[in-house]
Structure 1
């Protein structure tokens, strides 16, 4: 199968697909020896009437939940209403709350399905200043939605707290209030400013070592109420450093979409579990890789995972926060949804050249599960967006 794709020198060249066989999931979910949460995207309904520039898009609930069924079938847990679901970027709290309720109910209908859900403070008015107690109340409100529906919370980083805090003590105050009141063990979330510039200096310092000392103190005080911490700084050494200092019983969830392959595999300092947005588009290959790791077949694990890291680095290229566009693009190519339309029109956040590179690297990584359909849709896309006939 051939397709004409744009080049960075302005020319067009023909490309022949490398992987030609369908990669559909088997009947039984594989077993992993790592906890693997896939942060899942949301499918909007482009035929519905809604304001694209707002934060209450019309969600296609059937397609959105069907994709979660697909992830469960591959052995993954789901991290719901997180950054990959455009949380805080065209998906506001009312829609996120409905997503959480529906996703928890949906998971209960699937044997073995498991999920955790993002709870934050994104319903606070970002144009106003808020007190620490306002922020505590906001977290409590969202925790209540998650826990009353029967879910487990992921305590998302708060833009409001980052704006209000004047010292590390302010973070300690808020986090200890929320964690101590939670009905379930909490997963903490350290999201770097590459993903959200409003979170620069989180934990009260722009110095990572100082920030790390603060979060370790918070964890030490509440270690029996914390499942783990996800760190998304795109720096493997920072993750290893924090991982080595976590108290027993608190696990590291890698959120490093650049270095997850080596961090999950582990080394003499330990290994990371995973809570990753990249698992959404690479799910079929990552599932096979994690199953190989569980069998202690490291050669197969690395052979499968390494090409996905190359793809991930393209998807998460700066401006990193627009990685969701490539995630949904691949979901469309793979037939998980019948359109490439996103909340807030985010499909327009990347160039045709970027999408061409994503297509090439997705093929090399073996994540195009229906190659014939992917080529057909890629040709349509290139004709429409880049004026390239195929």
Structure 2
């Protein structure tokens, strides 16, 4: 659909009646499609290493007795979405929290996901990183540190065999078992000594997972950063990149400036990604790369903005992405762990799946009012691929709660 057609068709549609918290309904008309969706977006970004953390598409017909089995995933739609991201030149970060890892996606399902995504990446020449955890071990008990090392290595080996790069994610088991900073150092040192490089290191903050409070052995984030950087420094030959998900722009910049040569900072800050990726040096050389859950929902605008950055047009990069920040901040509002619901809602509005259902029923983690705001902010951000489709799907969604436009 051309931009002109999008404009004329959108302009003739009846307005949506959107609910407010006081029970009133307000007419709302969607804007024409953003020009970003008309651009030729091929090839990988030249100046930044960029990964979109991808969600999984649930099988809407799964029987409750099949929860947690391969039947719970619509594998065709899940892989089609990864091909979409790779076709834009974006790398895929898989089997991480955006894919509901630890919230419906266990290690058994993650293994299949990693294997299938690895095959897609090989076929398309795409970049793939995947989360390595310790979640093959049963929850709710304290595991010996050496078993946590073995669990990390088992998952990292599988990821490598499937063609991906392991991302050593923060382990809930380690957070429960570690009694000191030395315990964290022991586990990570042992893993990094034995793992085949390269790997990414991931620091996931408690906003995303409250059980990770005090990770690295302390709630003092300055001291935690010292431990994190010391481990990376001892193994910099194997650590290709780090992902920081603390939603703290200045702290990320401070850590970025202390990384060893050749270790790339990949921002996981879904609030402050625009200035972090643009950089703060005179020519934008002091910058973060990206591994972002919000780029699942913003893949096309993000790729269009990165093309501007590749041309040295930092202003053009910001002009495309700055309008997306209110949407990102809304998606990741507390409880931050529920952000995946809004991401999948947008994937449905944008035609990447045929329904709004999620693994483990996570579509219920956000309210109707929250999701209504997702629609309007996505519209304002130029993040709706087809406003006519989004209009029709939003109308059907509202009808399920008794609102007829």
Interval of TM-score (by shorter of Structure 1 and Structure 2): over 0.9
The alpha-carbon distance between structure 1 residues 24 and 72, as it changes in their structure 2 partners (threshold 3 A), is farther
1:307 corresponding residue in structure 2: 323
1:227-272 Cα offsets, whole Å, 9 max, x none, are: 1110000010110111111111111110000001110001038100
Q: Which moved more, 1:186-195 or 1:4-13?
A: 4-13
1:389 partnered with 2:401: no
Match of 1:373 among 366, 389, 397: 389
- TM-fit CA distance, 1:57: 5.5
1:208 corresponding residue in structure 2: 221
Match of 2:248 among 235, 241, 244: 235
Contact 2:209/2:337 (8 A) holds in 1:
yes
Match of 1:157 among 167, 170, 187: 170
Contact 2:41/2:88 (8 A) holds in 1:
no
1:120 corresponding residue in structure 2: 133
Residues in 2 aligned to 1:52 and 1:307: alpha-carbon distance in whole angstroms: 41
Contact 2:34/2:382 (8 A) holds in 1:
no
- TM-fit CA distance, 1:226: 0.3
Match of 1:91 among 105, 115, 131: 105
CA RMSD of aligned residues (A): 1.5
1:30-109 aligned within 5 A = 31-51=45-65, 54=68, 58-109=72-123
Aligned residue for 1:296, secondary structure, equals coil
Q: Which moved more, 1:21-30 or 1:247-256?
A: 21-30
Contact 2:31/2:387 (8 A) holds in 1:
no
The alpha-carbon distance between structure 1 residues 216 and 27, as it changes in their structure 2 partners (threshold 3 A), is closer
- TM-fit CA distance, 1:19: 2.5
Residues in 1 aligned to 2:203 and 2:45: alpha-carbon distance in whole angstroms: 28
1:357 partnered with 2:350: no
2:354 corresponding residue in structure 1: 338
The answer for unaligned runs of 5 or more in structure 2 is 1-12
Matched length: 388
Instruction: Return structure 1 stretches of 4+ with deviation > 4 angstroms.
Output: 52-57
The answer for unaligned runs of 5 or more in structure 1 is none
1:148 corresponding residue in structure 2: 161
1:15 corresponding residue in structure 2: 28
Residues in 2 aligned to 1:107 and 1:132: alpha-carbon distance in whole angstroms: 33
Contact 1:29/1:72 (8 A) holds in 2:
no
Contact 1:20/1:372 (8 A) holds in 2:
no
